Amino acid sequence: MKLQIFSLQGTVYEGETSQVTLPAKDGEITVLKGHIPLITLLKEGEIRTKEKNISIKKGFAEINGEKVVVLVD
């Protein structure tokens, strides 16, 4: 699955991953390939993949079965 993380300064991360854990406003969400479509607010925390961990302040994520796009502050 493709993961793209963008900030106002540009691309923070772009790559393939088998799973990503997001700090959603209502609790952590782990996303795997084939996840149902979802848009969610993110709170301060870490976006975690097997390849990399990225700290964020806040943002939102758009999830579909093949791609996760995250916009962060």
CATH of the domain at 63: 2.60.15.10
Domain count along the chain: 1
Q: Is the pLDDT of residue 73 over 90?
A: no
Average pLDDT over residues 3-11: 96
Answer whether residue 19 shows pLDDT above 90. Answer: yes
The pLDDT tens digits of the residues spanning 27-64 come to 999 999 999 999 999 999 999 999 999 999 999 999 99
Hey, what are 20's tokens?
Answer: 């990503």
Angle at 54 between CA 67 and CA 19, to 5 degrees: 35
CB neighbourhood size of 71 (10 A): 17
Domain region containing 37: 2-72
- Report DSSP letters for the chain, one per residue: -EEEEEETTEEEEEEE-SEEEEEETTEEEEEETTPPPEEEEE-SEEEEESS-EEEESSEEEEE-SSEEEEEE-
Can you tell me the mean pLDDT for 7-13? 95
